[in-house]
């Protein structure tokens, strides 16, 4: 089974379409949350996710757009964008996002968490110390996370609490080892933050136990134009050019 793993789409439908094109045929799609917020096409993205994704999480920005968590938790630009995204969402799409959880175990092998298994709504896994503390909060060999918009592989050995981090490059194929556990971030689809402006995603091959890290170029200008046309903060449009 080939699974397309998507994180942090952030209402960037051009990026989402480019990723789906680049991924080729897959058997399933799993989404790590933050489908909306920041970007200009929240309803298009939620509609796509509802149609295609077999397992979908809710992220902190989704919850901000829904009003479930206070917008005071976000910086000024994110707040403006989340407020606008929230106003755009159709009642049906609001209901769908409201029904989701920030963490879910999809099968015996894989758990999904938006931020981290320890704190699925808010924690950013930015170092091995934080990642090591999360291995005790899920039971499967593999967990995919989003939230930081930066691709990373955290590897934990079974016998001790040690954890190492690897930054995957485009096209890297990780062979999962049976005596190790992993927390993996595929990077962000709609607002990459690792200095590469291309949309990031991963392909998980359950039979061969591999995870392939990929990037897809998309029409950034199109997303930026839609953002500015809708009065979203300029800085949020500008950052897409730099992958920051």
Contact set with Zn ion (CB under 5 A)? 8, 34
Is the four-CA dihedral 92, 69, 191, 222 of positive or negative sign? positive
Q: C-beta of 81: minimal distance to Zn ion in Å?
A: 11
> Strand ranges (DSSP E) for the chain?
2-6, 28-31, 53-56, 103-105, 110-113, 142-145, 152-157, 163-166, 173-175, 180-185, 199-205, 210-216
Nearer to Zn ion, 53 or 210 (CB): 53
Q: C-beta of 122: minimal distance to Zn ion in Å?
A: 11
Q: C-beta of 92: minimal distance to Zn ion in Å?
A: 23
Instruction: Provide DSSP, 69-114.
Output: S-GGGS-HHHHHHHHHHHHHS-HHHHHHHHT--SEEE-SSSEEEES
Q: C-beta of 41: minimal distance to Zn ion in Å?
A: 15
Nearer to Zn ion, 36 or 153 (CB): 36
How far apart are alpha carbons 204 and 27 in whole angstroms? Answer: 10
Here the tokens at position 88 are 């755009």
Q: How far is CA 224 from CA 76, 139, 160, 207, 229, in A?
A: 18, 41, 46, 39, 9
Nearer to Zn ion, 34 or 194 (CB): 34
Q: C-beta of 38: minimal distance to Zn ion in Å?
A: 7
Q: C-beta of 9: minimal distance to Zn ion in Å?
A: 9
Nearer to Zn ion, 141 or 194 (CB): 194
Nearer to Zn ion, 8 or 119 (CB): 8
Nearer to Zn ion, 34 or 123 (CB): 34
- Beta strands 163-166 and 2-6 are unpaired
Residue with CB nearest Zn ion?
34
């Amino acid at each position: 089974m080939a699974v397309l793993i998507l994180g942090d789409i952030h209402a960037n439908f051009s990026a989402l379409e480019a990723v789906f094109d680049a991924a080729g045929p897959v058997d399933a799609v799993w989404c790590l949350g933050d489908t909306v917020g920041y970007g200009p096409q929240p309803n298009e993205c939620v509609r796509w996710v509802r149609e295609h994704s077999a397992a979908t999480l809710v992220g902190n920005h989704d919850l901000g757009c829904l009003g479930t968590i206070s917008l005071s938790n976000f910086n000024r630009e994110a707040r403006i964008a989340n407020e606008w995204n929230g106003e755009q969402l159709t009642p049906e799409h609001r209901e769908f996002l409201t029904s989701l959880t920030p963490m879910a175990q999809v099968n015996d092998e894989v758990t999904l968490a938006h931020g981290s298994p320890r704190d699925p709504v808010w924690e950013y896994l930015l170092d091995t110390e934080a990642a090591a503390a999360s291995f005790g909060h899920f039971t499967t060999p593999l967990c995919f996370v989003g939230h930081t918009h930066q691709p990373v592989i955290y590897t934990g050995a079974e016998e001790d609490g040690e954890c190492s981090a690897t930054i995957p490059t485009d096209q890297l194929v990780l062979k999962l080892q049976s005596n190790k556990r992993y927390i993996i971030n595929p990077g962000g689809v709609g607002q990459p933050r690792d200095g590469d402006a291309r949309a990031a995603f991963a392909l998980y091959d359950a039979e061969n136990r591999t995870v392939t890290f990929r990037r897809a170029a998309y029409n950034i200008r199109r997303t930026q134009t839609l953002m500015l046309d809708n009065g979203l903060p300029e800085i949020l449009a500008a950052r897409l050019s730099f992958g920051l």
